[in-house]
Amino acid sequence: MAGRSQTGAGDLLELVRSGRAVTRGALQQATGLSRATVGQRLDRLFRAGWLREGAGGPVDSPLGGRPSITLEFDDAHAVVLAADLETRHARAAVLSLTGEILAEHSGTLVIEDGPDVVLGELGRWFAELLEKAGQRAAEVCGIGLAVPGPVDLDSGRVVQPPIMPGWDGYDIRDRLARSFTEHTGAGPVPVLVDNDANLMAYGEQRTAYPDCTAFVLVKVSTGIGAGVVVDGSVYRGIDGGAGDLGHIRVPAGAEALCRCGSYGCLAAVASGGAVARRLAAAGVPAASGSDVRDLLASGHPEAAALAREAGRHVGDVLATVVTLLNPGVLMIAGDLSGTPFLTGVRELLYQRALPRSTARLEVVTSRLGERAGLVGAGALVVEHLYAPERVEERLLAMGV
């Protein structure tokens, strides 16, 4: 960054937020800007309410003197709304700009009811959550939404989602923004949409494994999906289809019809939905991955056996994933992430993958649990809105 004439207020904010430069002197050194220019650009950030002065920090000058005043990102100037949709259930929350959950709600929302119904209800949830958190709607800077399907990030639309009938190509961002306005009376705010496994991976990696440069999360619930974070950024592929692990063909599924319409998909034999169908056929009441999770929690022996078998199928596929990506952390999350399933994954993964690929691999379960998607969705919004180039746009729009 040093010597770049285009270094702006957004770049200075990024340096402060990341902790790389937290005094005026350090910002001068990092950017090559003059003291006066740094002061002018910081003044814009102070007037916007995005920066504040902290305690005295280290002395900038080698000659000594008084400690320099540190600069801090003011995380109290706005809040973020986030929601995580599953097939029959959803969670929503108000989060601080640093990811702290200020208020939270979970309840039944059926994805098959369609986007108009589901997103309309989310707007009502958000209004109630803001009141619960003691926050004004005007303080919301953006909304993040996690959905169980592939998403084109540029348009915010899901693309041919196997378990989201009626959502293909729907303008989610516009509808959710309108729903927020209808229920709160506030003006429209930016809405960002991404795949649930991507956002779970993003939230987990940033929270618990920030130094891991290759991180893979596999979510096994009603379906199966994966999120990949490389060098701190979600890898989405060309149009959001990366990580669609559940639709890799496996020999064991040759006769199994998947919800996507094809035969032989991994999700058709190893997802929570697939295990639930096998349990139901055996006379055990189960209709979804969450039902299987409850059975596993109660120690149901047949559920445990089927979950372990499902884990072996997934582990077989993950051997290829691990060999290809060489991640440092492989995280298993979702309804089936308990011990029986994880045991099955380990059995086949270590048997089939190259020893070189697993020598430094950590196979773990979720740290954030059901909140991972919310935390990831909130982080997605914050990183988008406070990216250097967008900071400049927002400051100009504010007249600062």
- Give the tens place of pLDDT for each residue, 315-349: 999 999 999 999 999 999 999 999 999 999 999 99
- Note whether 9-73 and 79-196+373-398 share their fold: no
Q: What is d(CA 53, CA 73) in angstroms, rounded to the nearest whole number?
A: 9
- Report the percentage of the chain scoring pLDDT > 70: 96
Residue with tokens 């890898």: 235
The Cβ-side half-sphere exposure at 354, using a 13 Å CA radius, reads 10
- 3-state secondary structure at position 257: strand
Q: What angle do CA 147, 340, 201 make, to 5 degrees?
A: 30
Residue from 65, 3, 74 nearest 37 by CA: 3
The helix (H) or strand (E) run that includes residue 220 is strand 214-220
The structure tokens listed for 1 are: 């960054």
- When the pLDDT of each residue in the chain is averaged and rounded to a whole number, the result is 93
CATH architecture of 199-369: 2-Layer Sandwich (3.30)
Q: pLDDT category, 59, cuts 50, 70, 90?
A: low
> By CB neighbour count within 10 A (0-12 exposed, 13-18 middle, 19+ buried), where does 134 fall?
exposed
Query: How many Å apart are CA 45 and CA 187, to the nearest integer?
Result: 23
Count Cβ atoms within 10 A of the Cβ of residue 179 and give its class: 0-12 exposed, 13-18 middle, 19 or more buried.
buried
- Tracing tokens 């909140």 back to the chain, one arrives at 371
In angstroms, rounded to a whole number, what is the distance separating the alpha carbons of residues 249 and 268?
A: 9
Please list, residue by residue across 257-267, b when 16 or more beta carbons sit within 10 angstroms of its beta carbon and e when fewer do: ebbbeeebbbb
| Among 142, 164, 157, 143, residue whose Cα is nearest residue 85 | 164
9-73 fold:
Arc Repressor Mutant, subunit A (1.10.10)
Q: What percent of the chain has pLDDT over 90?
A: 86
Residue 232, pLDDT score: 94
Contacts of 219 (CB under 8 A, 6+ apart): 196, 197, 200, 225, 226, 227, 333, 334
The model's confidence at residue 66, banded by pLDDT at 50, 70 and 90, is low
pLDDT in tens, 357-397: 999 999 999 999 999 999 999 999 999 999 999 999 999 99
Is residue 182 a contact partner of residue 200, using CB atoms and an 8 Å limit?
A: no
Give the end-to-end CA distance of the chain in Å, rounded to a whole number. 23
Is CATH 3.30.420.40 the right assignment for the domain spanning 79-196+373-398? yes
Task: Work out the average pLDDT over 347-360.
Answer: 94
Residue 237 neighbours by CB distance under 10 Å: 11
85-109 residue pLDDT tens? 998 899 999 999 999 999 999 999 9
pLDDT at 345 (0 to 100): 97
Q: Which two tokens stand for residue 223?
A: 């379906």
pLDDT value for 56: 63
Three-class DSSP labels, 171-200: CHHHHHHHHHHHHHCCCCCCEEEEEHHHHH
Contact between 99 and 375 (Cβ < 8 Å): yes
Residue 309 CB coordination number (10 Å)? 17
- The domain limits of the chain are 9-73, 79-196+373-398, 199-369
Is residue 395 a contact partner of residue 48, using CB atoms and an 8 Å limit? Answer: yes
Q: What is the pLDDT of residue 4?
A: 39
Tens digit of each residue's pLDDT (9 = 90 or more) over 15-42: 999 999 999 999 999 999 999 999 999 9
Do residues 184 and 79 make contact, with C-beta atoms less than 8 angstroms apart? no
Scanning 49-99, the segments in alpha helix (DSSP H) are none
Could you tell me which of 201, 159, 163, 147 has the C-alpha nearest to residue 321?
201
Residue type, 18: S
Q: Summarize pLDDT for 284-294 with one digit per residue, the tens.
A: 999 888 899 99
What sign for the dihedral angle of Cα 129, 133, 139, 140? negative
